[in-house]
Structure 1
Amino acid sequence: MGNGMNKVVDGLYLGNIRDSENRGSLSQNGITHILSVYNNAKPVLEDKTYLCINAADASSQNLSQYFKECIAFIHECRLKGGSCLVHCLAGVSRSTTVVVAYLMTVTPYGWEECLTAVKAVRPFVGPNAGFQQQLQEYQTTSVSEVKMSNTGGRRLKQWLIEQIKSGQYSGLEWEDDSLTMFRIPWKHAGKQDYNQEVDASIFKAWAVFKGKFKEGEKAEPATWKTRLRCALNKSPDFEEVTDRSQLDISEPYKVYRIVPEEEQKLGKTTAMVTTAGDIADLDCSSAELEELIKVASTDDYPSAIKRSYSPQEDGFNVQASPEYWSHGSIPVFSQMMISFYYGGQLMHSTVTSHPEGCRISPVQPQQRAVARGYSSDTMQSVHFPPADLIDNERQRQVTCKLLGHLERGVLVRANREGVFIKRLCQSRVFWSGHGEHGQHHGPVTCKLERDAVVKIFDTGRFLHALQLHQEGQIPAPDPTVTLCFGEELHDLSNAKNKLILVQITAMNCQQLLEAVNMRAVQSYNHSPSVEMSDEMASDQMARIYQDLCSYSAPQRTDCYRDNMTITA
């Protein structure tokens, strides 16, 4: 079952028994450890590290007795920079239960949220009723104990104290005589006197220790700094003392307090705790999971989207991965007509139908596109027409300059609920259309915030407006959304003056509107030859309405959330 193993978070994959024996797939995903959970499980490949759990896929099977052992195995693998494949026979029930138990342990989320996250990347999974009950019991009785007892190797606290004592890092020193607080240098890389060898040395050391950097690789001081900052903020062992930190001086630093274990056990720092011991050292691992569950669908299977890593100031690469749009696998709802206008002139139109949506961006060299993780395997690529097609020289120059600020483009996806978009590019983007939060029944015009996933076209609002249009109460609603890049868009009356406009049309709603209009015209003509066509139009309308209205969109929660970002 399934089409290969699926990545859940960094270093953790879920699959079936065939995936566990596929050397090509194992090598491609960097699998070093394999956790097998099925009857008579045994090691198969000599070059892999195994943990074999003999368990049946039966509600009566006590799988929770193996949770602690499995969690330690997975976690040790990830801490060493490896990747672990967890599998059973089909990759549906037993292995999923183990993965969910692990995610519960290393993040603040409950078993249902973690299961939702796993379904986002592998939609057909589902522990049996007995395993679900065991996950519930683990959540209420055991998971907190495992969090507090799991040391999983060298902890961040131990490593950092050793670095302070070594005295080899400028600015890393104790803040008080009782050795309960310490300073860590925090100079911004944009400072004129920034010296990477000195100011980034402790962050580089952490990256080396975690296996995230080796000498000879490209230096990424901003990324190093982010990783250590994230580890500090996620760890229950540390708490920033903001009133002691000095960030506006020539040699800025932050101050952190070492939180005593007794205080942690009393729950005084529960707001900070995501994991305990070295679990907190995993580079923002809970943020990856948060991305998968923050917009959980009310459907049986929240559909997988491609996790799109958003460009961060701290230097993370942009990669493609699941995002959360429901019902994305139905082709008819994925179809969009995308039209490009330069200075009001139509330059190019194309129809997209990829179930994972598309990325609209300028043409990029192949190697740069691959480096950012976008490919035809994950989403369709749609490119802005080249500015060379513009006749007017001044307009061509300005448009070319603006295209330079659209490098990362936007991600767009259509499903039965509407059209969703995520802006990645530096340039401002304004949109006008039947969005989710518009007033009355007309289009709204808004600015698209960077890294926010927004529903720019709401199918429910369109259908309601279309019904009122049929009753003669309002003009026909527009199934098209207009995007304006680099310039404000107050209304569509001055659209022809804009350098770059992109119009996105929901094809299913366009077809429905055409059917409604056809029926209205034919009813007006009253000709015998038209009556049969009128009946055909009614059938077409009925089919499209049935498809579009086969869900209770107004009753479900938002399927997007602002500022959806994933850290590495």
Structure 2
Amino acid sequence: MEERIKNLRLKEWLIAQIDSGQYAGLSWENVEKTLFRIPWKHAAKQDYKQNEDAALFKAWAVYKGKYREGRDKADPTMWKTRLRCALNKSTDFQEVPEHSQLDLSEPYKVYRINTETDTDMGQEFSQIKAHVINHGSPSCIPPQNLPVPQPQQDCKTQSKNGDAVQILREAVVREHMYHWSEAPQDPRSPSLIITAPALTVTSISDIRLQVRLFYHGQLVLDVITCSPDGCFILQGQGPLGSERIYGPCSAQQISFPPPAVLHLPPDITQAMTHLLPHLERGVLVWVAPDGLFIKRFCQGRVYWSGPLAQHTDRPNKLDRERTCKLLDMHIFQSEFRRYLQGEGHRPRYEIDLCFGEEFPNSSLQETNKLIMAQVVPLFAVDLLQSVQTADKQHLDTFRTHGEEGQPDTPPLPQP
């Protein structure tokens, strides 16, 4: 029982604290228990009482092992920052600024509990991993109901009706399923878990993101991030753990280079110099089990395009201080499954961000935008490349047989 309580997620832990009634000011805002109020008094206030006003934040720090009574120095500001970081990172919560009151003598914030999160995410992955641990090498365990690739001569026969391509593609996915499930904690290795026969994506542990920054269409920075807390794309350096950063404190920071890195026309340089200060707190991008997310903190406007963007021919604006889903894992898996079976297009996963200028629109090309960023989740890249490699190997094999007098297979559609 103690172990189960110790491993509660933030959502479960926080609901328990609200229901306990032991923290002054922490309460439900509605009878449906989907909104709750959390006290948010600043430590600089004259009537601030650490034992009362920091009690909840301290409890979270103790629960997570970040503060040990009698051994660590009390730091109410850091306690508060840690809980705020956890709330902002979690897809279970959404801040409701219009209901919050921060100017009162007893200030508070209001959060909404999201009810659409996938609580079953990762269960099947855990079962697969347990099977591997209990039964030895994963390469010796054929997935149930998945066709096993036949020897080359059988593949030649099946290629006449296109089945060989499907078998080889599924073989690649099966191989990666077991290979990736062995070491899901390594952020540098692919770790999209696919299960057969439904080929369902159930977990992501590859949280790497490739971030490219462009000034007036020219690449100025290309970075691969690997922090579990995502990355900030921002102007300057935001001090980690500061009250000025309203997001995960250990997120990797990607700072915009000075415009002088390129020899741009004077008017373009001047416009960028004027825009950059408005991007001081930037945006936070991170990978979660159910997709890719972003949150805008800077005062400068940010626009985007990607798989879930509402418009393709007019601007999509990111609202400030609101979490936005850029890529949905369930949609991606559905599109990937159809693509794998030769029935659909290659899934989209690239995200384009435009800072300070409306995007997309028909009046200006991407190359004319002052500052843009492209964000690419590498789990998608690795998965699609592995399938494409299998297709190429299959095509090369049958071309060889064709040269020996066997019928060639038609070229495979490229992603």
TM-score, normalised via structure 2 length: 0.51
Q: Which residue of 2 aligns with 1:178?
A: none
364 and 295 in structure 1: CA distance in 2 versus 1, 3 angstrom threshold: farther
Q: Secondary structure at the match of 2:331?
A: helix
- Asked if residue 481 in structure 1 is aligned to residue 305 in structure 2, the reply is no
Distance 1:487 1:99 in 2: 39
Q: Which residue of 2 aligns with 1:208?
A: 46
Distance 1:98 1:427 in 2: 35
Does the Cα contact within 8 Å between 2:220 and 2:257 map onto a contact in 1? yes
- Asked if residue 510 in structure 1 is aligned to residue 399 in structure 2, the reply is no
Shift of 1:365: 6.8
Distance 1:463 1:99 in 2: 31
Q: Which residue of 2 aligns with 1:457?
A: 327
C-alpha offsets along residues 498-543 of structure 1, whole Å, 9 cap, x if unaligned?
Answer: 11110000101111221232233333332459xxxxxxxxxxxxxx
Q: Which residue of 2 aligns with 1:391?
A: 263
Q: Which residue of 1 aligns with 2:181?
A: none
Q: Secondary structure at the match of 1:523?
A: helix
Distance 2:31 2:310 in 1: 36
Q: Which residue of 2 aligns with 1:448?
A: 318
Distance 1:455 1:512 in 2: 21
Shift of 1:472: 5.3
Residue number among 112, 119, 124 corresponding to 1:299 in the alignment: 119
444 and 334 in structure 1: CA distance in 2 versus 1, 3 angstrom threshold: farther
Q: Secondary structure at the match of 2:292?
A: strand
Q: Secondary structure at the match of 2:219?
A: strand
User: After superposition, where does 1:246-257 map in structure 2 within 5 Å?
Assistant: none
Does the Cα contact within 8 Å between 1:330 and 1:415 map onto a contact in 2? no
Residue number among 207, 212, 215 corresponding to 1:334 in the alignment: 207
Q: Secondary structure at the match of 2:352?
A: strand
Shift of 1:460: 2.7
- Structure 1: state its 5+ residue gaps: 1-56, 58-87, 118-203, 213-224, 232-282, 303-327, 530-568
369 and 498 in structure 1: CA distance in 2 versus 1, 3 angstrom threshold: farther
Distance 1:340 1:100 in 2: 40
Q: Which has the larger radius of gyration?
A: 1
301 and 464 in structure 1: CA distance in 2 versus 1, 3 angstrom threshold: closer
C-alpha offsets along residues 244-302 of structure 1, whole Å, 9 cap, x if unaligned?
Answer: xxxxxxxxxxxxxxxxxxxxxxxxxxxxxxxxxxxxxxx326x3xx36x3467442799
**Paired letter, 1:406:** L
Q: Secondary structure at the match of 2:317?
A: strand
- Asked if residue 403 in structure 1 is aligned to residue 276 in structure 2, the reply is yes
Distance 1:352 1:340 in 2: 13
451 and 102 in structure 1: CA distance in 2 versus 1, 3 angstrom threshold: closer
Q: Which has the higher mean CA deviation after the structures are superposed, 510-519 or 402-411?
A: 510-519
C-alpha offsets along residues 277-336 of structure 1, whole Å, 9 cap, x if unaligned?
Answer: xxxxxx326x3xx36x3467442799xxxxxxxxxxxxxxxxxxxxxxxxx988433111
Shift of 1:374: 7.1
Q: Secondary structure at the match of 1:412?
A: strand
Does the Cα contact within 8 Å between 2:121 and 2:289 map onto a contact in 1? no
How large is the Cα RMSD of the aligned pairs? 4.7
344 and 475 in structure 1: CA distance in 2 versus 1, 3 angstrom threshold: farther
420 and 90 in structure 1: CA distance in 2 versus 1, 3 angstrom threshold: closer
**Paired letter, 2:18:** L
Shift of 1:399: 1.2
Whose relative contact order is higher, 1 or 2, with alpha carbons under 8 Å and at least 6 apart? 2
Does the Cα contact within 8 Å between 1:465 and 1:477 map onto a contact in 2? yes
Q: Secondary structure at the match of 2:391?
A: helix
Q: Which residue of 2 aligns with 1:352?
A: 225
Distance 1:486 1:501 in 2: 9
Distance 2:7 2:390 in 1: 50
Q: Secondary structure at the match of 1:338?
A: strand
Does the Cα contact within 8 Å between 1:336 and 1:352 map onto a contact in 2? yes
Q: Which residue of 2 aligns with 1:92?
A: 6
Q: Secondary structure at the match of 2:278?
A: coil
329 and 404 in structure 1: CA distance in 2 versus 1, 3 angstrom threshold: farther
Q: Which residue of 2 aligns with 1:497?
A: 368
Shift of 1:412: 0.7
- Asked if residue 414 in structure 1 is aligned to residue 329 in structure 2, the reply is no
330 and 455 in structure 1: CA distance in 2 versus 1, 3 angstrom threshold: farther
Distance 1:355 1:414 in 2: 8
C-alpha offsets along residues 194-213 of structure 1, whole Å, 9 cap, x if unaligned?
Answer: xxxxxxxxxx9x9534569x
Distance 2:251 2:229 in 1: 5
Shift of 1:99: 7.9
409 and 329 in structure 1: CA distance in 2 versus 1, 3 angstrom threshold: farther
- Structure 2: state its 5+ residue gaps: 37-41, 51-99, 123-183, 188-204, 402-415
Does the Cα contact within 8 Å between 1:432 and 1:491 map onto a contact in 2? no
Identity level (%): 26
TM-score, normalised via structure 1 length: 0.38
Distance 2:313 2:389 in 1: 23
**Paired letter, 2:255:** H
Shift of 1:430: 0.9
Distance 2:340 2:270 in 1: 46
Q: Which residue of 1 aligns with 2:18?
A: 103
Residue number among 279, 287, 300 corresponding to 1:427 in the alignment: 300
Does the Cα contact within 8 Å between 2:310 and 2:316 map onto a contact in 1? no
414 and 522 in structure 1: CA distance in 2 versus 1, 3 angstrom threshold: same
Shift of 1:475: 4.6
